[in-house]
């Protein structure tokens, strides 16, 4: 059975409030009853003291006047119990009921524990012997009668106001609790609806209450969960896209790899049949043959690079271990990448000035991965420079600079292109993000993955009117390993 939070909070509070009010009411009623009786008894003793010691005769007029002052009725009887005087008909009405009442002899012994009943009402009663100068020298009995209705009115006057205040306080507590629990219930219902919205896939942030309390903390926690769910959803979608790409591309990659392997083998066979310096060939023709062999060598390197990338692509998801990082001469990697992209940049009319050191720049990484990364950077830079030249007529240029710092090797590729579009500028290293209509959006993601796998980082910025990509890799520091690697 569903029990609302409002009832869960109000129920115990109202039970405690009602129990506390009941206990307080009973205690206060007892105190009020006791104090009222004690006050009336003190008043009755005082009146009895006055009447017992007075020298004037106790007549109907005197007793009537005393009744008006004391708020009680008085009946004076002789030894036989017959009426001598009274304060009025109310006192005379109980004459038959007081004959057997015990009589006290001192005013201090007067109490109001007994009661007598007349046809019309009930009195608290006490009887006091008084010695008065009479003709027969006999004593008299003074009956003190306090109307029970006056007693009840007196204790109600003492008890009811605190009870009313207590009930009002309990009502106020219940009202405040009702308002507070109503607010909490509404907030919980609102947050519950927002959580259901999150469960349905709508990850917009929920409304955060202005009051800084637990409900605000709960709303903030829900928003943090929504933010994480948004990130998880993006990652899941990216994973699904990558999985789809791998599934669709695996067959194509296998066929392309076979074709690339066959093409490389054909080129190797052709190169073996062409001597480097054919005998009897004129000098100019020999030079042309040598240039052709150089182009074949570049083609072989490109095909080996394609084979390696396709092999890596086809191994995705398999349990084979990746190639471990080794000490690589980044200077040699950059020079090989420039050689591999030379035909492309030359065909595009892009000038490629370089600033490379004459000594090795050893870093820890995978040579093939780093070569592919540098090739991607050079091709992207060349395309950006060519695209701007076609639109604005500016010269196309890609500058390559490699420098070794204290413990870092820094590669800078600067192009004269317009830079990434603002819509993708913050996400250019994410997979499948590209501003080119024919682009897949994997080139820079591969660059970042390879560089970070080698313990480095890659970043880009705009310097003046040019775009700059900077790759920083930790320099290898073990002299023996460096020497062995370079010698190998």
DSSP 369-432: HHHHHHHHHHHHHHHHHHHHHHHH-PPPBEEEEEEE-SSEEEEEEEE-S----TTTGGGTTSTT
Between CA 300 and CA 340 the distance in angstroms is 10
Reported as a pLDDT band with limits 50, 70 and 90, residue 320 is very low
Q: What is the pLDDT of residue 319?
A: 41
Taking alpha carbons only, the member of 418, 412, 382, 378 closest to residue 397 is: 382
pLDDT tens digits, residue range 396-446?
999 999 999 888 999 999 999 888 888 888 888 887 777 766 666 677 888
Q: Name the token pair of 11.
A: 């129920």
pLDDT digits (tens, 9 = 90+) for 437-472: 666 667 788 888 888 888 899 999 998 889 999 999
pLDDT at 314: 53
Give the number of other CB atoms < 10 A from CB of residue 302.
18
Q: How far is CA 466 from CA 381, 418, 430, 451, in A?
A: 10, 7, 22, 23
Q: What is the pTM of this model?
A: 0.46
230-234, 419-423, 482-486, range with the lowest pLDDT: 482-486
- How far is 70 from 450, CA to CA, in rounded Å? 109
Which CA distances in Å does 133 have to 23, 50, 137, 142, 144? 54, 16, 6, 15, 20
Task: Please give the average per-residue pLDDT across 164-184, as a whole number.
Answer: 78
User: Sign (positive/negative) of CA torsion 333, 335, 339, 344?
Assistant: positive
Domain chopping of the chain, boundaries: 5-160, 234-320, 321-487
**Residue 146 above 60 pLDDT?**
yes
| Closest listed residue to residue 365, CA positions, set 429, 447, 484, 455 | 455
**Contact, 125 vs 116, CB < 8 A?**
yes
71-90: average pLDDT: 86
pLDDT above 90 (res 344):
no
What is the C-alpha separation between 251 and 27, in angstroms, rounded? Answer: 92
Instruction: Please state the three-class secondary structure of 269-336 as a single string.
Output: HHHHHCCCCCCCCCHHHHHHHHHHHHHHHHHHHHHHHHHHHHHHHHCCCCCCCCCCCEEEEHHHHHHH
Residue 280: the pLDDT is 47
Q: Compute the average pLDDT of residues 322-334.
A: 84
Block residue for tokens 């009336």? 40
Protein fold of 321-487: Heat Shock Protein 90 (3.30.565)
In terms of CATH architecture, what is 5-160? 2-Layer Sandwich (3.30)
Q: β-strands 122-130, 140-147: how paired? A: antiparallel
The DSSP bridge pattern shows strands 122-130 and 83-86 to be: unpaired
């Amino acid at each position: 059975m569903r029990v609302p939070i409002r009832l869960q909070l109000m129920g115990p509070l109202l039970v405690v409030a009602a129990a506390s009010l009941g206990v307080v009411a009973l205690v206060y009623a007892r105190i009020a009853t006791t104090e009222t009786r004690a006050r009336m008894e003190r008043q009755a003793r005082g009146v009895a003291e006055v009447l017992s010691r007075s020298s004037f005769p106790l007549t109907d007029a005197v007793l009537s006047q005393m009744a008006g002052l004391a708020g009680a009725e008085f009946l004076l009887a002789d030894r036989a119990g017959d009426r001598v005087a009274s304060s009025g008909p109310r006192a005379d009405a109980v004459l038959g009921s007081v004959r057997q009442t015990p009589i006290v002899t001192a005013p201090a012994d007067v109490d109001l524990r007994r009661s007598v009943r007349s046809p019309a009402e009930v009195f608290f009663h006490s009887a006091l012997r008084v010695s008065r100068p009479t003709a027969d020298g006999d004593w008299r009995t003074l009956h003190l009668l306090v109307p029970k209705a006056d007693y009840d009115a007196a204790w109600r006057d003492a008890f009811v106001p605190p009870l009313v205040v207590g009930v009002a306080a309990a009502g106020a507590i219940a009202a405040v609790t009702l308002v507070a629990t109503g607010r909490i219930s509404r907030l919980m219902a609102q947050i519950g609806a927002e959580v259901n919205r999150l469960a349905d896939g709508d990850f917009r942030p929920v409304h955060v209450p202005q009051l800084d309390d637990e409900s605000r903390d709960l709303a903030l926690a829900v928003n943090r969960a929504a933010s994480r769910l948004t990130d998880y959803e993006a990652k899941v979608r990216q994973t699904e896209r990558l999985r789809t790409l791998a599934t669709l591309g695996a067959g194509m990659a296998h066929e392309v790899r076979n074709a690339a392997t066959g093409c490389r083998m054909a080129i190797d066979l052709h190169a073996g049949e062409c001597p480097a310096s054919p005998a009897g060939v004129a000098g100019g023709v020999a030079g042309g043959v040598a240039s052709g062999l150089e182009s074949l060598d570049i083609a072989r390197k490109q095909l080996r690079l394609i084979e390696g990338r396709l092999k890596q692509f086809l191994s995705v998801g398999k349990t084979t271990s990746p190639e471990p990082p080794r000490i690589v001469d980044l200077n040699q990697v950059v020079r090989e990448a420039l050689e591999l992209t030379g035909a492309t940049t030359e065909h595009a009319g892009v000038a490629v000035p370089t600033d490379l050191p004459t000594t090795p720049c050893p870093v820890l990484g995978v040579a093939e991965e780093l070569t592919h990364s540098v090739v991607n950077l050079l091709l992207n830079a060349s395309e950006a420079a060519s695209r701007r030249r076609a639109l604005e007529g500016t010269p196309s240029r890609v500058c390559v600079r490699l420098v070794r710092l204290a413990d870092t090797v820094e590669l800078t590729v600067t192009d004269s292109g317009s830079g990434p579009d603002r819509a993708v500028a913050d996400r250019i290293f994410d997979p499948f993000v590209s501003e080119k209509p024919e682009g897949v959006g994997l080139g820079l993601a591969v660059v970042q993955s390879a560089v970070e796998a080698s313990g480095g980082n890659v970043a880009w910025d705009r310097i003046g009117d040019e775009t700059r990509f900077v790759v920083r890799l930790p320099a290898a520091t073990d002299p023996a390993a460096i020497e062995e690697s370079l010698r190998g």
